[in-house]
Amino acid sequence: MLRILAIALLLLCAPPAQAQQARKLPYWASISAGRAMMRTGPAKEYPAVWEYRRADLPIRVVQIFKDWRKIQDPDGTTGWMQVKLLSDTRTALVTGKENQPLYEKPDGSSAVRYYAQPGVVGRLSDCSLAWCRFDVNGRRGYIRASALYGLDPGESF
């Protein structure tokens, strides 16, 4: 009982939560929901024009209005989506017409661990000018950044 009271007092004394810092537009995000609707405007009253059924799909946020984000998908389609359907998790989509190798190291002469087909979506980490660590459901390797949609040319993080 004393422990619960102590936690309650801490919560009452805590400063109010800070609002999220404004981000410079445009920025990259991903769809977090397994089902997400794109609308013609920033409210549920606007007609839905597209239904996405692909969590982790990378998108580009190009405009902000309250809790809505105007996004651009990999095909260039733009529309509005609620921010609660989006994530800051960095993901990418394999582009092109050929399978792309995922290397053991960020070096084209290292061993190939896997191949990713065009359209495959994975999570990004450890991106440099030319390479990104790419994770597709636990299968990890380094892929050339130029083979991906979901990051800016020369971006590092």
pLDDT in tens, the chain (157 residues): 434 433 333 333 433 333 345 689 999 999 999 999 999 999 999 999 999 999 999 999 999 999 999 999 999 999 999 999 999 999 999 999 999 999 999 999 999 999 999 999 999 999 998 999 999 999 999 999 999 999 998 899 9
Write down the architecture of domain 92-149 according to CATH.
Roll (2.30)
| CA pseudo-torsion sign 105, 108, 113, 116 | positive
Domains of the chain by residue range: 22-89, 92-149
How many residues appear in the chain?
157
Residues 118, 99 contacting (CB under 8 angstroms) = yes
* Cross-strand pairs, 48: 39
Q: Comparing 22-89 with 92-149, is the CATH topology the same?
A: yes
Structure-token match 């999570």, residue found? 123
The phi and psi torsions of 17 (rounded to 5 degrees) equal: -65, 140
Where does 22-89 sit in CATH, by number? 2.30.30.40
Which alpha helices (DSSP H) does the chain contain, by range? 2-13
